[in-house]
Amino acid sequence: MPAPAPEAPRASPGAPVTLVVGLSVGFHFACFLLCLFGLYRFTRELDNDFARAAREEHVGFTLRVNAGVLPLYALLAAAAAVLLYPLVAALRTRGWNTGRIAAAFLLALTSLHGVAAFRFYQLHPQFIDGPVGNAYKWLWQHLPWWGQRALAPAVCLALLGVGGAASLAWYGVGLARACRRLAPPARLRCARVAGAAVALALGLAVAAVAARPAHGRDGRSPEGSGGGRARPNVLILASDSLRADHLGMNGYARPTSPRLDAWAKKAVNFRQAYVPVASTLESWVSFLTAQYPHTHGIRQMFPARAEMDALTARSPLLPVLFRGAGYRTAVLGDWCASIFHLADFGFDEVEATDWQNFAAAVLDATVRGHLVLPWYFHSDLGHHLYPALRDSAKFTSPQDIVGRVRRRLRAFAAEERPFFLVCFLSSTHLPYSCYDAYHDLFCDPAYDGPFQYRLNFAIDKFIQGKSDFVPTEADMRRTVDLYDGCVRSFDDCAGDVLDELARLGLDANTLVAVTSDHGDDLYEPGVNVGHGVTFLGGDQENRVPFVLRVPGLAPRVVERLVRSIDLAPTLLDFAGLPIPGTMEGVTLRPYLTGAVEDLGLVFHGETSYLLFQRKTPGVEPVELPRLDRMVSIDPDYDHNLVLREEARAWVSRTKERAIRTDRWKLVAIPTRNGEVVKLFDLAKDPGQQEDLAGRGLPVEAELRRRLRRWEEEHVEERWK
């Protein structure tokens, strides 16, 4: 009788597990090191004091922040191992050797990340940057139509779903087979444990997605009592750098604001509204105090703690006044709203992305450097697992903030107290990166320049004021096209909030203002891009949307000049609250009710002029040192960037000042050879190209006198 054939040696059941775990952990740790090296190399290439501080003076903090993302890489490694283990097990049963299995595993893992990356960049083209983003852009441009369709977001999601379903099915079959080999009591216990594990996982996922902060960063409870609903609510919707003349309600030809245009038909639209300084912090402080910068004291964007403390001690802050009247006060925004962390402005809740301190900059650079993370964690669940993504200046979108605002409105609707709510978004701020499909609305698909999805400029040269980029006509048109897409994005954001307000039945008792902190230059004659630089070339830096809806008042359009400092007195007036005598703005009730046609208001303003070097045709401007040499990091002020003491005099003597009436505008420009004055007749020259100064017009002397009195005595006179 022949001897039985020897049984083939069976592979160790632990071998595939060890292989899968080792490959997955090694792959993702290599990704971590590669991204860390890329971040270090990027900072080494930057020649500014901020980058030098990150890699030399605060290297320990920088490394700790980067080490904080390791758990996310571990989570990705574990998920990849679980998802791809069935593939390795199947290849093992087919007799593949370790080398071939490892190659197949790494190929599958790379493909998985590739699919996730393509889906992310298709949904968020504004994030296309660096070698991976550039590779995506090149591949997308060179793929045939069937290849592009194959990589559509829906197909990517389907591929991920099919792969996940196949993996779960494999584990389910294995679990069922294992259960069948158990005795009935043990089989029942195993099924219960498996069911409980699945229920727990699903419960945690649902809880993570549904979890929302119940209070602001200062820890105050949203619960309140007293006050009642007798007074109207107040809602302010604003987008940074939003120009009034790019809205349909103000005559713009493109359909950039259909939802706001429809809403404005039930409101009062002030078409000639101006902010005293085209810089976010200074402008918002003027909004909330109804005072000019030289009165409230905040005249540049990097104040010291002592300056902010003095502001809150001496100036009438609108949120403080509303809070004192029993209102719930809150501000929500993305990185542009980081200014509200600089002091206690009177908000019970401040939910905004930090930007203006060194720690936040390092954290944001880390998030940008580890480019794998947003592919998987840029979602509600991902933000819950890694809040730094939610708080990142780059990865928190205006749409994210709108979702939080709508939830906050629902919470306010359940309370008895009235609310004062500010929603401030970065939708229209440089570099004009449009979300989702907005960038396609107005852009020419044939454009092949550097501004594909946003304005691209070298941050290092930007800080130093050395940028030598010369845009072409196509680049300038593309800039406007991208900007208009951003305006449309804000239109939808504001429309969603206004719709939620109406759905909750709050619009009947809510004062609503839609506005901005300033406008932007968009390559108009004689100017570049940016804001806070000059009063020349037009009013686009200081003119802002200013639309107020007061329940019960008839809609109208007001063409007379008004100022942003008039907003606070107006809101206080219609809320039935006293207007402090220290406010320099006035209530606009006579315009809103149609009681008068002309209040004779005059605009006074100054430039900010810190981020951009001024280039004024025909004059030699007083130049500032580069930004990183003018500011320092204050560790005692939450590591905020603070203007150096010696730089204050530089900033003060480089400011342009202006005075404007409905018809005339006079601009005083400091130069190396003394002050230069320019005068424009806006009725005949709205583009402000013909200088009438020095021609003996009586209005020039009168405007000079008024401007000097405003500067020296803080007195402004009505124009009659």
183-219 pLDDT tens trace? 666 655 655 555 555 554 444 444 433 433 333 333 3
DSSP string across 507-548: GGGEEEEEE-S---EES-TT--EESSS-STT-STTTEE-EEE
Q: Please list, in sequence order, all residues whose beta carbon lies within 8 angstroms of the beta carbon of residue 110, skipping any fewer than 6 positions away.
A: none
pLDDT of residue 219: 34
For the ranges 42-56, 265-279, 340-354, 500-514, the lowest mean pLDDT is seen at 42-56
Q: What is the CA radius of gyration of the chain?
A: 30
**Cα(28)–Cα(32) distance, integer angstroms:** 6
Burial (CB < 10 A; 0-12, 13-18, 19+), residue 102, is: middle
Q: What average pLDDT does range 378-393 have in this prediction? A: 71
Task: Calculate mean pLDDT across residues 236-255.
Answer: 97
Mean pLDDT of the region 357-362? 73
Cβ contacts of 289 within 8 Å, gap of 6 or more: 295, 296, 311, 315, 316, 317, 318, 565, 568, 583
Say which residue, 686 or 318, is predicted with more confidence.
318
| AA identity, residue 497 | V
Choice among 25-29, 190-194, 258-262, 616-620 with the minimum mean pLDDT: 190-194
Confidence band for 81, pLDDT divided at 50, 70 and 90 = confident
pLDDT of residue 464: 46
SS3 352: strand
- Nearest CA-CA partner of 211 in 340, 473, 404: 404
Q: How confident is the model at residue 97 (pLDDT cuts 50, 70, 90)?
A: confident
Q: For residue 234, report the phi and psi dihedrals to the nearest 5 degrees.
A: -130, 130
Specify the pLDDT at position 210: 40
Residue whose C-alpha is closest to residue 564's, from 582, 588, 540? 588
Q: Is the pLDDT of residue 496 over 90?
A: yes
Q: What is the pLDDT of residue 69?
A: 84
Provide the percentage of residues in the chain whose pLDDT is more than 90. 45
List, for residues 560-609, the tens digit of each pLDDT value.
999 999 999 999 999 999 999 999 999 999 999 999 989 999 999 999 87
- Residue 450: predicted pLDDT: 84
What is the SS3 assignment for 99? helix
Q: Which amino acid is it at 85?
A: Y
C-alpha to C-alpha distance for 80 and 284, rounded to whole angstroms: 47
What is the 3-class SS of 160-203, one letter each residue?
HHHHHHHHHHHHHHHHHHHHHCCCHHHHHHHHHHHHHHHHHHHH
Please say if the pLDDT value at position 57 is more than 70.
no
Kindly state the DSSP code that residue 663 receives in the 8-state scheme.
S
Mean pLDDT of the chain: 82
Residue 51 has pLDDT above 80, yes or no: no
82-91, 181-190, 260-269, 443-452 — most confident range: 260-269
pLDDT greater than 80 at residue 130? no
Instruction: Give the pLDDT score at 4.
Output: 54
| Residue 376 burial (CB count, 10 A) | 19
pLDDT at 353 (0 to 100): 80
Share of the chain above pLDDT 70, in %: 76
Q: How far is CA 22 from CA 35, 55, 71, 106, 320, in A?
A: 20, 32, 16, 11, 58
- Rounded mean pLDDT, 294-318: 94
140-149, 466-475, 630-639: segment of lowest average pLDDT: 140-149
